Protein backbone atom coordinates (compact mmCIF):
# COMPACT_ATOMS: atom_id res chain seq x y z
CA UNK A 1 0.00 0.00 0.00
CA UNK A 2 1.15 3.49 -0.77
CA UNK A 3 0.89 5.92 2.13
CA UNK A 4 0.27 9.61 1.46
CA UNK A 5 1.83 12.05 3.94
CA UNK A 6 0.47 15.57 3.56
CA UNK A 7 2.87 18.32 4.63
CA UNK A 8 2.93 22.10 4.60
CA UNK A 9 5.39 22.87 1.78
CA UNK A 10 6.77 25.94 3.54
CA UNK A 11 7.21 24.28 6.92
CA UNK A 12 7.00 20.48 6.65
CA UNK A 13 6.16 18.48 9.78
CA UNK A 14 9.49 17.05 10.96
CA UNK A 15 7.89 13.84 12.24
CA UNK A 16 6.47 13.04 8.82
CA UNK A 17 9.76 14.00 7.14
CA UNK A 18 11.58 11.68 9.55
CA UNK A 19 9.26 8.83 8.59
CA UNK A 20 9.87 9.36 4.89
CA UNK A 21 13.63 9.66 5.50
CA UNK A 22 13.67 6.39 7.47
CA UNK A 23 11.84 4.70 4.64
CA UNK A 24 14.50 5.89 2.16
CA UNK A 25 17.31 4.73 4.47
CA UNK A 26 15.66 1.32 4.68
CA UNK A 27 15.64 0.94 0.88
CA UNK A 28 12.07 2.16 0.32
CA UNK A 29 10.64 4.27 -2.49
CA UNK A 30 9.43 7.76 -1.55
CA UNK A 31 7.91 10.31 -3.92
CA UNK A 32 8.44 13.93 -2.90
CA UNK A 33 8.00 17.41 -4.37
CA UNK A 34 10.92 19.34 -5.78
CA UNK A 35 10.72 22.86 -7.21
CA UNK A 36 10.56 21.35 -10.73
CA UNK A 37 8.40 18.18 -10.64
CA UNK A 38 7.76 15.38 -8.14
CA UNK A 39 10.65 12.93 -7.87
CA UNK A 40 10.60 9.24 -6.96
CA UNK A 41 13.42 8.82 -4.48
CA UNK A 42 15.55 5.82 -3.54
CA UNK A 43 18.90 5.46 -1.76
CA UNK A 44 21.38 6.10 -4.59
CA UNK A 45 23.95 3.73 -3.08
CA UNK A 46 21.53 0.81 -2.56
CA UNK A 47 21.39 -1.32 -5.72
CA UNK A 48 18.26 -3.19 -4.68
CA UNK A 49 16.38 0.01 -3.97
CA UNK A 50 17.41 1.35 -7.37
CA UNK A 51 16.24 -1.84 -9.08
CA UNK A 52 12.86 -1.53 -7.33
CA UNK A 53 12.65 2.05 -8.52
CA UNK A 54 13.16 1.08 -12.17
CA UNK A 55 10.51 -1.62 -11.82
CA UNK A 56 7.98 0.70 -10.18
CA UNK A 57 8.32 3.26 -13.00
CA UNK A 58 8.61 0.64 -15.77
CA UNK A 59 11.69 2.62 -16.75
CA UNK A 60 14.19 1.05 -19.16
CA UNK A 61 17.49 0.24 -17.43
CA UNK A 62 19.48 2.29 -19.97
CA UNK A 63 17.99 5.58 -18.71
CA UNK A 64 20.30 7.01 -15.99
CA UNK A 65 19.02 8.73 -12.83
CA UNK A 66 19.73 12.10 -11.26
CA UNK A 67 21.23 11.93 -7.76
CA UNK A 68 19.89 14.56 -5.35
CA UNK A 69 22.06 15.95 -2.57
CA UNK A 70 21.40 18.33 0.33
CA UNK A 71 24.62 20.30 -0.11
CA UNK A 72 27.47 20.72 -2.58
CA UNK A 73 29.90 18.85 -0.32
CA UNK A 74 27.66 15.76 -0.40
CA UNK A 75 28.40 15.50 -4.09
CA UNK A 76 32.17 15.23 -3.67
CA UNK A 77 32.27 11.48 -2.84
CA UNK A 78 30.10 10.73 -5.88
CA UNK A 79 32.34 12.26 -8.53
CA UNK A 80 35.87 11.60 -9.82
CA UNK A 81 36.84 15.23 -9.36
CA UNK A 82 35.12 18.55 -8.85
CA UNK A 83 35.81 20.88 -11.76
CA UNK A 84 36.03 24.60 -11.11
CA UNK A 85 33.01 25.11 -13.36
CA UNK A 86 30.84 22.90 -11.13
CA UNK A 87 31.80 24.93 -8.09
CA UNK A 88 31.03 28.23 -9.83
CA UNK A 89 27.71 27.00 -11.21
CA UNK A 90 26.60 25.56 -7.88
CA UNK A 91 27.51 28.80 -6.13
CA UNK A 92 25.21 30.62 -8.51
CA UNK A 93 22.34 28.15 -9.14
CA UNK A 94 22.18 25.71 -6.20
CA UNK A 95 19.97 24.94 -4.58
CA UNK A 96 17.83 25.04 -7.69
CA UNK A 97 16.77 23.48 -11.00
CA UNK A 98 20.24 22.79 -12.44
CA UNK A 99 21.58 19.23 -12.85
CA UNK A 100 25.30 18.79 -13.57
CA UNK A 101 26.71 15.73 -15.33
CA UNK A 102 30.22 14.95 -14.05
CA UNK A 103 32.68 12.06 -14.22
CA UNK A 104 31.56 9.62 -11.56
CA UNK A 105 33.37 7.92 -8.70
CA UNK A 106 33.27 4.10 -8.39
CA UNK A 107 30.96 4.43 -5.38
CA UNK A 108 27.97 5.18 -7.60
CA UNK A 109 26.31 1.92 -8.67
CA UNK A 110 26.05 1.14 -12.39
CA UNK A 111 22.28 0.89 -11.98
CA UNK A 112 22.15 4.64 -11.26
CA UNK A 113 24.31 5.73 -14.19
CA UNK A 114 23.06 3.08 -16.63
CA UNK A 115 26.68 2.04 -17.00
CA UNK A 116 27.88 5.49 -18.08
CA UNK A 117 31.15 6.89 -16.75
CA UNK A 118 29.29 10.00 -15.63
CA UNK A 119 26.72 10.81 -12.97
CA UNK A 120 24.04 13.52 -12.95
CA UNK A 121 23.71 15.46 -9.68
CA UNK A 122 21.45 18.21 -8.44
CA UNK A 123 20.76 20.10 -5.22
CA UNK A 124 17.03 20.91 -5.18
CA UNK A 125 15.64 24.02 -3.49
CA UNK A 126 12.14 22.86 -2.51
CA UNK A 127 11.85 22.99 1.31
CA UNK A 128 10.31 19.49 1.44
CA UNK A 129 13.05 18.00 -0.75
CA UNK A 130 15.70 19.76 1.32
CA UNK A 131 14.21 18.65 4.63
CA UNK A 132 14.03 15.06 3.39
CA UNK A 133 17.62 15.03 2.08
CA UNK A 134 18.96 16.63 5.24
CA UNK A 135 17.13 14.15 7.42
CA UNK A 136 17.99 11.05 5.35
CA UNK A 137 21.70 11.96 5.10
CA UNK A 138 22.12 9.82 1.97
CA UNK A 139 22.32 10.74 -1.71
CA UNK A 140 18.86 10.15 -3.20
CA UNK A 141 18.42 9.04 -6.81
CA UNK A 142 15.15 10.49 -8.07
CA UNK A 143 13.69 10.40 -11.56
CA UNK A 144 10.38 12.14 -12.14
CA UNK A 145 7.68 10.21 -10.22
CA UNK A 146 5.60 9.20 -13.25
CA UNK A 147 5.23 5.94 -15.10
CA UNK A 148 7.72 5.87 -17.97
CA UNK A 149 6.30 7.73 -21.00
CA UNK A 150 3.63 9.57 -18.97
CA UNK A 151 4.01 13.34 -18.42
CA UNK A 152 6.06 14.27 -15.36
CA UNK A 153 3.97 14.79 -12.20
CA UNK A 154 3.49 18.32 -10.90
CA UNK A 155 0.97 17.34 -8.19
CA UNK A 156 0.80 14.49 -5.70
CA UNK A 157 -2.42 13.33 -7.39
CA UNK A 158 -0.44 12.70 -10.61
CA UNK A 159 2.01 10.52 -8.68
CA UNK A 160 -0.86 8.68 -7.05
CA UNK A 161 -2.55 8.05 -10.41
CA UNK A 162 0.64 6.51 -11.86
CA UNK A 163 2.29 4.78 -8.90
CA UNK A 164 -0.31 3.90 -6.24
CA UNK A 165 0.48 0.44 -4.91
CA UNK A 166 3.97 0.45 -6.49
CA UNK A 167 5.81 2.70 -4.01
CA UNK A 168 5.91 3.11 -0.23
CA UNK A 169 5.22 6.79 0.45
CA UNK A 170 4.08 9.92 -1.37
CA UNK A 171 4.96 13.13 0.46
CA UNK A 172 2.28 15.55 -0.73
CA UNK A 173 3.64 19.09 -0.56
CA UNK A 174 1.17 20.63 -2.99
CA UNK A 175 1.78 21.63 -6.61
CA UNK A 176 5.35 22.16 -7.77
CA UNK A 177 6.61 25.59 -8.71
CA UNK A 178 8.54 25.49 -12.02
CA UNK A 179 6.56 22.60 -13.53
CA UNK A 180 9.30 21.48 -15.97
CA UNK A 181 12.28 19.24 -15.18
CA UNK A 182 15.68 20.71 -14.33
CA UNK A 183 18.20 21.91 -16.87
CA UNK A 184 20.71 19.09 -17.47
CA UNK A 185 24.21 20.40 -18.19
CA UNK A 186 27.04 18.09 -19.27
CA UNK A 187 30.34 19.13 -17.68
CA UNK A 188 32.12 15.85 -18.42
CA UNK A 189 33.35 16.57 -21.94
CA UNK A 190 35.52 19.25 -23.57
CA UNK A 191 32.78 21.80 -23.85
CA UNK A 192 29.86 22.27 -21.40
CA UNK A 193 26.60 21.50 -23.16
CA UNK A 194 22.92 21.64 -22.25
CA UNK A 195 21.42 18.16 -22.67
CA UNK A 196 17.93 19.18 -21.51
CA UNK A 197 16.68 22.80 -21.39
CA UNK A 198 15.03 23.95 -18.17
CA UNK A 199 14.42 26.97 -15.99
CA UNK A 200 18.15 27.79 -15.86
CA UNK A 201 18.53 28.81 -19.48
CA UNK A 202 21.49 29.18 -21.83
CA UNK A 203 21.99 32.90 -21.12
CA UNK A 204 21.94 32.43 -17.37
CA UNK A 205 24.54 29.65 -17.69
CA UNK A 206 26.70 31.66 -20.07
CA UNK A 207 26.88 34.47 -17.51
CA UNK A 208 28.89 32.04 -15.36
CA UNK A 209 30.45 29.80 -18.05
CA UNK A 210 30.73 31.73 -21.33
CA UNK A 211 31.41 28.68 -23.54
CA UNK A 212 28.23 26.70 -22.72
CA UNK A 213 26.44 25.42 -25.83
CA UNK A 214 23.18 23.67 -26.60
CA UNK A 215 23.26 20.20 -28.06
CA UNK A 216 20.24 18.71 -29.71
CA UNK A 217 19.81 15.27 -28.27
CA UNK A 218 16.41 14.71 -29.83
CA UNK A 219 17.99 13.83 -33.14
CA UNK A 220 19.83 10.80 -31.75
CA UNK A 221 23.38 9.96 -32.76
CA UNK A 222 26.25 10.56 -30.39
CA UNK A 223 24.26 12.52 -27.83
CA UNK A 224 21.57 9.89 -27.67
CA UNK A 225 24.31 7.51 -26.55
CA UNK A 226 25.64 10.08 -24.11
CA UNK A 227 22.25 10.54 -22.49
CA UNK A 228 20.08 7.58 -23.39
CA UNK A 229 17.11 8.82 -21.37
CA UNK A 230 16.80 11.90 -23.49
CA UNK A 231 15.33 10.15 -26.49
CA UNK A 232 12.50 12.15 -27.92
CA UNK A 233 9.70 9.80 -26.87
CA UNK A 234 9.66 10.58 -23.19
CA UNK A 235 7.01 13.04 -22.16
CA UNK A 236 4.11 11.78 -24.19
CA UNK A 237 0.57 11.49 -22.97
CA UNK A 238 -1.38 8.48 -24.28
CA UNK A 239 -3.31 10.47 -26.88
CA UNK A 240 -1.21 11.54 -29.89
CA UNK A 241 -0.13 15.20 -29.68
CA UNK A 242 0.13 17.25 -32.88
CA UNK A 243 2.25 20.38 -32.61
CA UNK A 244 1.71 23.17 -35.13
CA UNK A 245 4.78 25.37 -35.37
CA UNK A 246 5.45 28.87 -36.64
CA UNK A 247 4.50 32.41 -35.64
CA UNK A 248 1.18 32.85 -33.89
CA UNK A 249 -0.96 33.57 -36.97
CA UNK A 250 0.54 30.79 -39.08
CA UNK A 251 0.49 28.13 -36.39
CA UNK A 252 -3.05 28.97 -35.27
CA UNK A 253 -4.30 28.89 -38.87
CA UNK A 254 -2.68 25.46 -39.42
CA UNK A 255 -4.08 24.18 -36.14
CA UNK A 256 -7.61 25.32 -36.97
CA UNK A 257 -7.47 23.84 -40.47
CA UNK A 258 -6.19 20.55 -39.01
CA UNK A 259 -8.95 20.55 -36.36
CA UNK A 260 -11.66 21.08 -39.00
CA UNK A 261 -10.27 18.34 -41.23
CA UNK A 262 -10.06 15.85 -38.36
CA UNK A 263 -13.53 16.73 -37.06
CA UNK A 264 -14.80 16.24 -40.62
CA UNK A 265 -13.41 12.69 -40.51
CA UNK A 266 -15.30 12.06 -37.28
CA UNK A 267 -12.33 12.37 -34.94
CA UNK A 268 -12.80 13.87 -31.50
CA UNK A 269 -10.27 16.62 -30.88
CA UNK A 270 -8.83 18.26 -27.79
CA UNK A 271 -6.94 21.54 -28.13
CA UNK A 272 -4.35 22.67 -25.64
CA UNK A 273 -4.97 26.39 -25.96
CA UNK A 274 -3.40 29.69 -24.98
CA UNK A 275 -5.82 32.25 -23.53
CA UNK A 276 -5.16 34.48 -26.56
CA UNK A 277 -6.63 31.85 -28.93
CA UNK A 278 -9.85 31.07 -27.09
CA UNK A 279 -12.06 33.40 -29.15
CA UNK A 280 -10.95 31.94 -32.47
CA UNK A 281 -11.22 28.37 -31.21
CA UNK A 282 -14.81 28.87 -30.08
CA UNK A 283 -16.02 28.34 -33.66
CA UNK A 284 -14.54 24.82 -33.79
CA UNK A 285 -16.06 21.47 -32.75
CA UNK A 286 -13.25 20.79 -30.28
CA UNK A 287 -12.82 20.50 -26.55
CA UNK A 288 -10.46 23.08 -25.16
CA UNK A 289 -8.06 22.70 -22.25
CA UNK A 290 -6.61 26.06 -21.27
CA UNK A 291 -2.88 26.55 -20.82
CA UNK A 292 -2.99 30.19 -19.73
CA UNK A 293 -1.70 33.35 -21.36
CA UNK A 294 1.19 33.07 -23.77
CA UNK A 295 2.53 36.24 -22.18
CA UNK A 296 3.08 34.34 -18.94
CA UNK A 297 5.40 31.46 -19.84
CA UNK A 298 6.19 30.76 -16.19
CA UNK A 299 2.51 30.06 -15.50
CA UNK A 300 2.29 27.91 -18.64
CA UNK A 301 5.31 25.88 -17.53
CA UNK A 302 3.70 25.29 -14.14
CA UNK A 303 0.51 24.08 -15.76
CA UNK A 304 1.73 22.25 -18.88
CA UNK A 305 1.95 18.67 -17.60
CA UNK A 306 -1.33 18.89 -15.65
CA UNK A 307 -2.99 20.18 -18.84
CA UNK A 308 -1.52 17.31 -20.88
CA UNK A 309 -2.93 14.84 -18.35
CA UNK A 310 -6.35 16.57 -18.49
CA UNK A 311 -6.31 16.32 -22.28
CA UNK A 312 -5.41 12.66 -22.00
CA UNK A 313 -8.38 12.01 -19.74
CA UNK A 314 -10.78 13.40 -22.34
CA UNK A 315 -10.08 10.30 -24.41
CA UNK A 316 -9.88 12.31 -27.63
CA UNK A 317 -8.34 10.93 -30.81
CA UNK A 318 -5.77 13.73 -30.95
CA UNK A 319 -4.48 16.68 -28.94
CA UNK A 320 -3.62 19.76 -31.01
CA UNK A 321 -1.36 22.54 -29.75
CA UNK A 322 0.68 25.35 -31.32
CA UNK A 323 4.21 26.41 -30.40
CA UNK A 324 4.81 29.14 -27.85
CA UNK A 325 6.12 32.29 -29.51
CA UNK A 326 6.91 34.68 -26.67
CA UNK A 327 10.59 35.27 -25.88
CA UNK A 328 11.27 34.27 -22.27
CA UNK A 329 13.91 32.15 -20.50
CA UNK A 330 11.33 29.37 -20.11
CA UNK A 331 9.98 29.42 -23.67
CA UNK A 332 12.77 27.19 -25.02
CA UNK A 333 12.10 24.59 -22.32
CA UNK A 334 8.34 24.69 -22.97
CA UNK A 335 8.87 24.32 -26.71
CA UNK A 336 11.25 21.40 -26.04
CA UNK A 337 8.59 19.59 -23.98
CA UNK A 338 5.88 20.27 -26.59
CA UNK A 339 8.15 18.77 -29.28
CA UNK A 340 8.87 15.71 -27.16
CA UNK A 341 5.19 15.23 -26.38
CA UNK A 342 4.43 15.46 -30.10
CA UNK A 343 7.21 13.22 -31.37
O1 LIG B 1 13.85 18.27 -12.33
C2 LIG B 1 14.33 17.15 -12.40
O3 LIG B 1 15.45 16.92 -12.90
C4 LIG B 1 13.48 15.97 -11.86
C5 LIG B 1 13.38 16.15 -10.36
C6 LIG B 1 12.69 14.98 -9.71
O7 LIG B 1 14.64 16.36 -9.81
N8 LIG B 1 14.07 14.72 -12.23
C9 LIG B 1 14.03 14.24 -13.49
O10 LIG B 1 14.59 12.97 -13.63
O11 LIG B 1 13.56 14.84 -14.42
P12 LIG B 1 14.37 12.09 -14.92
O13 LIG B 1 14.99 10.78 -14.58
O14 LIG B 1 12.97 12.08 -15.29
O15 LIG B 1 15.26 12.75 -16.00
C16 LIG B 1 16.65 12.73 -15.85
C17 LIG B 1 17.34 12.87 -17.17
C18 LIG B 1 17.26 11.54 -17.89
O19 LIG B 1 16.48 11.65 -19.04
C20 LIG B 1 18.68 11.21 -18.22
O21 LIG B 1 18.87 10.95 -19.58
C22 LIG B 1 19.50 12.42 -17.81
O23 LIG B 1 18.73 13.14 -16.93
N24 LIG B 1 20.71 11.90 -17.18
C25 LIG B 1 20.82 11.28 -16.00
N26 LIG B 1 22.09 10.87 -15.78
C27 LIG B 1 22.79 11.25 -16.85
C28 LIG B 1 24.15 11.12 -17.24
N29 LIG B 1 25.05 10.51 -16.47
N30 LIG B 1 24.53 11.64 -18.42
C31 LIG B 1 23.63 12.27 -19.20
N32 LIG B 1 22.34 12.42 -18.91
C33 LIG B 1 21.91 11.91 -17.74
MG1 LIG C 1 11.30 11.76 -16.35
- What is the number of the ligand 1 atom nearest to the C-alpha of 118? 29
pLDDT at residue number 224: 44
Q: To test the ligand 1 pocket, which listed residue (63, 66, 148) has its Cβ within 8 A of the most ligand atoms?
A: 66
pLDDT classification of 215: cutoffs 50, 70, 90 = confident
pLDDT cut 70: percent of the chain above it: 94
- What is the number of the ligand 1 atom nearest to the C-alpha of 152? 14
**Beta-strand pair 213-214/193-196:** parallel
Q: What is the distance between the alpha carbons of residues 291 and 312, in angstroms, rounded to a whole number?
A: 14
Q: What is the distance between the alpha carbons of residues 187 and 86, in angstroms, rounded to a whole number?
A: 8
Residue 225, pLDDT > 70, answer: no
- What is the number of the ligand 1 atom nearest to the C-alpha of 180? 1
Residue 282, pLDDT > 90, answer: yes
SS (H, E, C) the chain: CCEEEECCCCCCCHHHHHHHHHHHHCCCCEEEECCCCEEEEEECCCHHHHHHHHHHHCCCCCCCCEEECCCHHHHHHHECCCCHHHHHHHHHHCCCCEEEEEEECCCCCHHHHCCCCEEEEECCCCHHHHHHHHHHCCCEECCECCCCCCCCCCCHHHHHHHHCCCCCEEEECCCCCCCCCCEEEECCCCCCEEEECCCCCHHHHHHHCCCCEECCCCCCCHHHHHCHHHCCCCCCCCCCEEEECCCHHHHHHHHHHHHHHHHHCCCCEEEEEEHHHHHHHCCCCCEEEEEECCCCHHHHHHHHHHHHHHHHHCCCCEEEEECCCCCCCCHHHHHHHHHHHHC
Lowest mean pLDDT among 18-22, 31-35, 230-234, 291-295: 230-234
Rounded to 5°, the CA angle 241-242-247 comes to: 130
Report the nearest-CA residue for atom 15 of ligand 1.
Answer: 143
pLDDT per position as a tens digit, 125-142 = 999 999 999 999 999 999
Q: What is the mean pLDDT of the chain?
A: 94
For residue 115, count CB atoms less than 10 angstroms from its CB and return exposed for 0-12, middle for 13-18, buried for 19 or more.
Answer: exposed
Does the pTM surpass 0.85? The reply is: yes
Q: To test the ligand 1 pocket, which listed residue (69, 143, 217, 330) has its Cβ within 8 A of the most ligand atoms?
A: 143
Residue 236, pLDDT > 60, answer: no
Report the nearest-CA residue for atom 3 of ligand 1.
Answer: 182
Q: What is the distance between the alpha carbons of residues 123 and 139, in angstroms, rounded to a whole number?
A: 10
Report the nearest-CA residue for atom 12 of ligand 1.
Answer: 143
Q: How far apart are the first and last CA of the chain?
A: 35
For residue 1, count CB atoms less than 10 angstroms from its CB and return exposed for 0-12, middle for 13-18, buried for 19 or more.
Answer: exposed
pLDDT per position as a tens digit, 58-90 = 999 999 999 999 999 999 999 999 999 999 999
Q: What is the mean pLDDT of residues 12-28?
A: 98
CB of residue 113 inside a 6 A radius of ligand 1: yes
CB of residue 141 inside a 6 A radius of ligand 1: no
Question: Which residue in 333, 340, 90 sits closest to 201, CA to CA?
Answer: 333
CB of residue 64 inside a 6 A radius of ligand 1: yes
Q: What is the distance between the alpha carbons of residues 37 and 280, in angstroms, rounded to a whole number?
A: 32
Residue 229, pLDDT > 60, answer: no
Q: What is the mean pLDDT of residues 154-179?
A: 98
Q: What is the mean pLDDT of residues 109-115?
A: 97
Cα of 265 vs centre of ligand 2, distance in Å, is 35
Nearest ligand, CA of residue 38? Answer: 1
pLDDT classification of 223: cutoffs 50, 70, 90 = very low
Amino acid sequence: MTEVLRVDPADPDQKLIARAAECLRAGGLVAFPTETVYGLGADALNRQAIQRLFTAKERPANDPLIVHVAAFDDMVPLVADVPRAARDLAARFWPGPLTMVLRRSPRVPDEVTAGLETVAIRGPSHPVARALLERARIPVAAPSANLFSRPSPTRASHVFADLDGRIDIIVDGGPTDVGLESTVLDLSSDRPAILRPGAVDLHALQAVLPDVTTRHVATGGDMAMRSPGLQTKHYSPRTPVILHEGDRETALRLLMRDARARAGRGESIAVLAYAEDLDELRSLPVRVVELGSEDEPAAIATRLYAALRECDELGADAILVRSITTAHPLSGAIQDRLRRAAS
